């Protein structure tokens, strides 16, 4: 599922970013700082970007389920496509 959703969220990977400004409570700021201090992220911005990516992932999955798709079905399609590509590229190992 991740392989399908990431390009939708992260765009073309060309690094185009825009700055925005948000107001947060002190407790949220402390939470962001704790993630950075633990070494899980390099900056507060990374924590926020990851949270937004996760929210978008959840929205996409929710929309897919509403339209009758199941996340497991996409995983099966991905695995099948990956196996097919591997077999084509490495015929001598099959």
pTM recorded for the entire structure: 0.63
Query: What's the rounded mean pLDDT across residues 15-29?
Result: 88
Mean pLDDT of the chain: 82
How do residues 48-77 score in pLDDT, each as one tens digit? 999 999 999 889 888 888 888 877 777 777
Taking the C-alpha atoms of residue 20 and residue 2, their distance in angstroms, rounded to an integer, is 26
Taking the C-alpha atoms of residue 40 and residue 62, their distance in angstroms, rounded to an integer, is 27
- Of the pLDDT bands very low, low, confident and very high (cuts 50, 70, 90), residue 4 is low
Number of CB atoms found within 10 A of residue 15's CB: 6
Break the chain into its structural domains and give their ranges.
2-6+22-93
Q: List Cβ neighbours of 1 (8 Å cut-off, separation of 6 or more).
A: 61, 71, 74, 75, 78
H helices present in the chain, as ranges: 2-10, 26-37, 44-66, 71-89
């Amino acid at each position: 599922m991740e392989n399908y959703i990431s390009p939708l969220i992260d765009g073309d990977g060309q690094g185009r970013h825009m700055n925005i400004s948000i107001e947060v409570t002190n407790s949220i700021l402390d939470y962001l700082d704790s993630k950075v201090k633990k070494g899980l992220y390099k900056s507060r911005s990374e924590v926020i970007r990851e949270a937004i990516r996760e929210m978008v992932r959840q929205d996409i999955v929710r929309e897919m389920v509403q339209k009758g798709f199941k996340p497991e079905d996409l995983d099966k399609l991905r695995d099948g496509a990956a196996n097919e590509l591997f077999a084509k590229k490495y015929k001598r190992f099959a």
